């Protein structure tokens, strides 16, 4: 390969990688990817969760699809999107980790908007796994039921956050409760712990979610 061909090869190579970086260079598309780590969703569901119009969400999803980061299937009038490959989830987690390590502004955003979180007791994945093995906690998945059905932590009970008040009678008082949602930046678990604590429960917030659990190589349940 001569010098000109080598240069042509490198330019073409990095252009392909740049397709992915361009697709990721938008906060709405990153949020859509984050939502899709919880499981397959319709365009309408994703638009509602991300506070976008359906047309805008669809446009962003098409950009992600062009970069082969998401895939779509159609069923009747609905389009269902999912991550194109498990490595796309790994990519999002890696990007998030780099941001947490390198961006001081990110920590300021977290401190500003999640300052109240410090009042809640937290538990990490290793601590949770040990307590599950010992049958020493009740684990609540407070995400929407569709996300629970797509995959959840073993032994977790599904009580979506918007149903928790009405279903408190289903939550036993004789064991500590661990609530989890979509991951470290989801506040559903914070809301659950606050509610449970007000009603006399010993409650903890899991500082992770299903993607982080999977990244450890731990199994996911679908039953």
| Tens digit of each residue's pLDDT (9 = 90 or more) over 66-109 | 999 999 999 999 999 999 999 999 999 999 999 999 999 999 99
pLDDT over threshold 90, residue 116: no
- Domain membership of residue 148 (yes or no) is yes
Provide long-range contacts, Cβ within 8 A and 24+ apart, for 158-163.
Answer: 161/188, 161/191, 161/192
Q: What is the mean pLDDT of the chain?
A: 95
First to last CA, the chain: 55
CA distance 93 to 88: 9
Q: What is the mean pLDDT of residues 57-74?
A: 97
pLDDT above 70: percentage of residues in the chain: 100
Cβ neighbours, 10 Å, residue 98: 10
pLDDT over threshold 90, residue 114: no
CATH code for the domain in which residue 10 is found: 1.10.10.10
Same domain, 118 and 56: no
- Domain membership of residue 55 (yes or no) is yes
pLDDT band at 126 (very low <50, low <70, confident <90, very high): very high
Same domain, 152 and 199: yes
Number of domains making up the chain: 2
Catalytic: which of 32, 50, 179, 181?
A: 181
**Polymer length in residues for the chain:** 223
User: Which domain range does residue 195 map to?
Assistant: 111-215
Radius of gyration, alpha carbons of the chain: 20
Active site (annotated) includes residue 186? no
- Domain membership of residue 126 (yes or no) is yes
Q: What is the mean pLDDT of residues 21-31?
A: 97
pLDDT band at 14 (very low <50, low <70, confident <90, very high): very high
- Domain membership of residue 221 (yes or no) is no
| Predicted TM-score (pTM) of this structure | 0.91
């Amino acid at each position: 390969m001569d010098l000109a061909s080598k240069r042509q090869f490198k330019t073409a190579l990095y252009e392909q990688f740049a397709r992915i970086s361009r697709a990721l260079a938008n906060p709405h598309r990153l949020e859509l990817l984050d939502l899709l780590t919880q499981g397959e969703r319709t365009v309408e569901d994703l638009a509602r969760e991300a506070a976008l119009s359906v047309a805008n969400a669809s446009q962003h999803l098409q950009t992600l699809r062009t970069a082969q980061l998401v895939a779509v299937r159609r069923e009747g009038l609905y389009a269902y999107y999912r991550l194109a490959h498990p490595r796309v989830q790994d990519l999002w987690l890696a990007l998030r980790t780099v941001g947490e390590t390198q961006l001081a502004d990110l920590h300021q955003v977290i401190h500003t908007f999640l300052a109240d979180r410090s009042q809640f007791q937290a538990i990490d994945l290793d601590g949770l796994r040990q307590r599950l093995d010992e049958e020493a906690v009740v684990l609540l998945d407070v995400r929407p039921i569709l996300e629970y059905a797509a995959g959840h932590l073993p032994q977790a009970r599904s009580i979506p956050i918007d149903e928790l008040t009405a279903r408190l009678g289903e939550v036993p008082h004789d064991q500590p409760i661990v609530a989890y949602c979509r991951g470290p930046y989801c506040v559903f678990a914070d809301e659950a712990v606050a509610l449970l604590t007000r009603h006399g429960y010993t409650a903890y917030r899991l500082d992770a979610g299903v993607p982080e659990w999977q990244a450890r190589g731990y199994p996911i349940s679908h039953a």
